């Protein structure tokens, strides 16, 4: 039996509620497969496209319908509810199909960040849809948002992405997990909060869910962190004619490729760094990066990139 934290990428969750539900149904089959094999899992997920869409919709309503303005942390909490609901339902349906009985619960999760984190002065986390350069410049001018190019895929609004310090609801997550419940937690990296004199307050930012998931995996002393995204594997020379799949990666090899600039900031780089941090902080830990569609094949070693301390398979 292994303890596994599985993180689903926000960009990998499709472009509409219908697409998202279809995609998570497929992944739920693989996740329940892990449960059937006797593993204990916690599920987390990203929210970049979703929190951007919610924020855009709420801003539009405020401008056109005179509804109250809706702060960004509240949009983050809404994204946790929306994505958690789809995951919860898909996992419950999959359990039902297999005549299994287990409680599935999504936990609204707050994650503490440092109010002096330099990330607040340098927004890097892409949210919402992709725009052309011209449209991005127009919206920047009209609304004062910041846009950046996202890994060759177009321009997206970026917001601050401070590092996660601690998971506020960790004890509840841990208790549910240890008691064999299926928990969805740390969605969207957690709603970022700062603590002043012990009191929590939401801040407008999006924490990288790969980094929060790695923190959660370490806190739960998990054996494996699985990051499910849009690509089956991690590559070097990604997107070029000579791109090459990385199947097994040691911490040192990963660092060398980071130094060469092989992983794009804001997309693959945080995943690799999160995996390295998690693997390095314990013994016999591994981290797997693959697509939402191919978890079964990746667990069988056919696709995916497995990161371990030495690059050797963990048995
Ligand atoms: N070296 C690389 N290998 C594979 N994918 C890469 C690499 N560098 C950048 N990427 C990009 O990273 C993306 C995955 O990151 P992202 O979209 O932020 O993930 P998610 O939202 O699913 O967590 C891929 O779709 C790909 O475009
Ligand atoms: N919060 C977060 O990291 O979202 P994505 O997975 O969509 O980037």
Tens digit of each residue's pLDDT (9 = 90 or more) over 267-295: 899 999 999 999 999 999 999 999 999 99
Domain residue ranges of the chain, discontinuous segments joined by +: 3-47+73-114+163-308, 125-159
Q: What is the pLDDT of residue 180?
A: 92
Q: What is the pLDDT of residue 202?
A: 98
Residue of 231, 239, 287 best suited for mutating to test ligand 1, as the one with most atoms within 8 Å of CB: 231
Cα atoms in the Cβ-side hemisphere of radius 13 Å centred on 52? 22
* Mean pLDDT over each residue of the chain, to the nearest integer: 94
Closest CA to 224 of 87, 39, 11, 25: 39
| Predicted confidence (pLDDT) per residue in 109-133, tens digit | 999 999 999 999 999 898 888 899 9
State residue 114's pLDDT score: 98
User: For residue 315, what pLDDT is reported?
Assistant: 42
- CA dist 137 and 104 (Å) reads 43
**Whole-angstrom distance, CA of residue 308 vs CA of residue 251:** 7
- Distance separating alpha carbons of residues 291 and 300, to the nearest angstrom: 14
Give pLDDT, residue 67: 81
Q: What 8-state DSSP symbol labels residue 68?
A: P
Contact 198, 108 (CB under 8 A): no
- Which residues of the chain register pLDDT less than 50? 314-315
Model confidence, pTM: 0.95
pLDDT at site 108? 98
Ligand 2 site-directed mutation target among 20, 27, 206, 292, most atoms within 8 Å of CB: 206
CATH code matching the domain that covers 3-47+73-114+163-308, chosen among 3.40.1160.10, 3.40.50.300, 3.40.190.10, 2.30.40.10: 3.40.1160.10
Segment 50-82, tens digit of pLDDT: 999 999 899 888 888 878 888 999 999 999 999
Residue 46: CB within 6 Å of ligand 2? yes
- Asked if 49 contacts 127 with a C-beta cutoff of 8 angstroms, the reply is yes
């Amino acid at each position: 039996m292994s303890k596994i934290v599985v993180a689903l990428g926000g960009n990998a969750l499709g472009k509409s509620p219908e697409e998202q539900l279809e995609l998570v149904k497929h992944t739920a089959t693989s996740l329940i497969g892990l449960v059937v094999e006797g593993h204990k899992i916690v599920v987390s997920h990203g929210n970049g496209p979703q929190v951007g869409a919610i924020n855009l919709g709420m801003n539009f309503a405020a401008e056109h319908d005179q509804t109250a303005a809706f702060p960004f942390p509240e949009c983050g909490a809404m994204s946790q509810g929306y994505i958690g609901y789809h995951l919860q339902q898909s996992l419950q349906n999959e359990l039902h199909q297999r005549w299994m009985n287990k409680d599935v619960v999504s936990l609204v999760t707050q994650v503490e960040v440092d109010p002096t984190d330099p990330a607040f002065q340098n927004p890097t986390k892409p949210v919402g849809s992709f725009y052309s350069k011209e449209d991005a410049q127009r919206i920047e001018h009209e609304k004062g948002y910041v846009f950046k190019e996202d890994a060759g895929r177009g321009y997206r609004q970026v917001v601050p992405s401070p590092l996660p310090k601690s998971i506020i609801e960790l004890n509840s997550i841990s208790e549910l997990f240890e008691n064999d419940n299926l928990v969805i937690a740390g969605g969207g990296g957690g709603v970022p909060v700062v603590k002043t004199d012990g009191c929590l307050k939401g801040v407008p930012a999006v924490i990288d869910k790969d980094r929060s998931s790695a923190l959660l995996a370490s806190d739960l002393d998990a054996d494996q962190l699985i990051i499910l995204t849009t690509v089956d594997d991690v590559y070097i020379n990604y997107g070029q004619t000579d791109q090459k799949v990385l199947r097994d990666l040691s911490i040192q090899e990963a660092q060398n490729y980071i130094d060469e600039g092989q992983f794009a900031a804001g997309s693959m780089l945080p995943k690799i760094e999160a995996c390295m941090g998690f693997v390095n902080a314990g013994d016999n830990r591994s981290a797997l990066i693959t697509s939402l569609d191919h978890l079964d094949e990746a667990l069988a070693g056919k696709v995916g990139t497995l990161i371990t301390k030495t690059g050797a398979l963990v048995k």
